[in-house]
Amino acid sequence: MATVAHCLFCFEVLAASLDKRESLSLRQVEDLWARYQAYNEEGLQDQPDESVQDPDIHDGDEIMSETDDDDDDPDEHLADKSPITSPEPAPQPSTLRLPTISRLQAPSPASASTSSTPSSFSASSSRLALDDSSSKTSSKTSFFSFGRRSEQPSPFREQQYPLFVTWNTISARGNKALRGCIGTFEPQDLSSGLQSYALTAAFDDTRFPPVRSAELSSLATHITLLHSFTPCAHPLDWSLGTHGLRLSFTHHGRRLGATYLPDVAVEQGWSKEETIVSLMRKAGWTGRSRDWRNVGDLRAVRYEGKGEGCGWRAWRDWRDWVDALNIDEKAKGGIS
């Protein structure tokens, strides 16, 4: 499954691109994240036990304490439901580009890369043909001199997965709105795949203008690694909240298709049929909702995916610690 380190890596790649600097590699991020967690755990162990009563407080003394305000707004999770307020377009700062971007932007049904979010947020729907054609990506991973190797390396470090990278904006009240989501069903090496699609989802989702530096502090990312692809016996042969769905069908002589990740239907509150109709409209179908069964050669593939997410603040706190660690180790002569 995806990990917090994968999410931090995507933030690192995006921030480095916006700052026009080199990014840490996935291996370095994983190692430094493990060290950061160990550092925090050691810090917690050094904290005094608050359950031990202050010796200056005796039985019968009145102790005053502050309580949380019951009127605080609860967290609101409105993923893909709130209207998108798109920021002004800005020139794309990406220094790493996929060779398949032109096909991501065009309505061609031959791309292996796709977005997985409801088309109601899109001025132009993302389209995907579910054939065997795909485009492989390659990215150079940068290396810095600091960062020690973890004693327990990630089990996914040498494996390949189909993956999706999602960027959301989080409002001051906790509302979530889609900012970009693109992925691929072609298995990817995690380092190059996450690096490539973190930038592609941020800069090349044609439903949105490229992400700007000023937006970074309002972003959150969610990474989904996909597995267990199984052809459905019929279009409703899948489970809400467990499976993602990949549809393909013929419409007006063209082969169309699209996908939703496992969490989309549940977040939207859709039934299975509503999910299928929305997915077909996302692919470009314009028929009446009740006629969805009448399209030609409708095929469905279900799959599973374990996701992980984190916000900018988590990345910023970790990155500040990494920067301080770098300075400290340089001062000690640990870094050339």
SS3 letters for the chain?
CCCHHHHHHHHHHHHHHHHCCCCCCHHHHHHHHHHHHHHHHHHHHCCCCCCCCCCCCCCCCCCCCCCCCCCCCCCCCCCCCCCCCCCCCCCCCCCCCCCCHHHHHCCCCCCCEECCCCHHHCCCCCCCCCCCCCCCCCCCCCCCCCCCCCCCCCCCCCCEEEEEEEEEEECCCCCEEEEEEEEEEEEEEHHHHHHHHHHHHHHCCCCCCCCCHHHHHHEEEEEEEEEEEEECCCCCCCCCCCCEEEEEEEECCEEEEEEECCCHHHHHCCCHHHHHHHHHHHHCCCCCHHHHHHCEEEEEEEEEEEEEEEEHHHHHHHHHHHHHHHHHHHHCCCCC
pLDDT digits 0-9 by tens, 109-122: 333 455 665 543 33
When mean pLDDT is compared across 59-63, 245-249, 286-290, 297-301, the lowest value belongs to: 59-63
Rounded CA-CA distance 287/249 in Å is 13
| Residue 270: predicted pLDDT | 97
Among residues of the chain, what percentage have pLDDT more than 70? 63
On the question of pLDDT at 146 being above 80, the answer is no
Rounded CA-CA distance 83/72 in Å is 24
The two structure tokens encoding residue 37: 């967690």
Rounded CA-CA distance 178/168 in Å is 5
Average pLDDT over residues 256-282: 96
The 10 Å Cβ neighbour count of residue 121 is 20
Q: Report the DSSP pairing between strands 160-170 and 176-189.
A: antiparallel
Number of residues that this document lists for the chain:
336
On the question of pLDDT at 81 being above 90, the answer is no
Average pLDDT over residues 6-30: 97
Distance of CA 149 to the CA centre of its chain: 25
How far is the CA of 118 from the CAs of 85, 132, 183, in angstroms? 16, 24, 14
Integer-rounded Cα radius of gyration of the chain: 23
Calculated CA dihedral for residues 55, 61, 62, 65, nearest 10 degrees? 0
Least Cα distance to 217 among 267, 181, 167 occurs for: 167
On the question of pLDDT at 96 being above 60, the answer is no
| Residue 334: predicted pLDDT | 52
Average pLDDT over residues 127-140: 35
pLDDT digits 0-9 by tens, 28-80: 999 999 999 999 988 765 554 444 444 343 333 332 333 334 344 333 332 33
Q: pTM to 2 decimals?
A: 0.68
| Residue 44: predicted pLDDT | 62
Compare 111 and 204 and report the one with higher pLDDT. 204
When mean pLDDT is compared across 91-95, 206-210, 331-335, the lowest value belongs to: 91-95
When mean pLDDT is compared across 130-144, 203-217, 225-239, 321-335, the lowest value belongs to: 130-144
On the question of pLDDT at 328 being above 60, the answer is yes
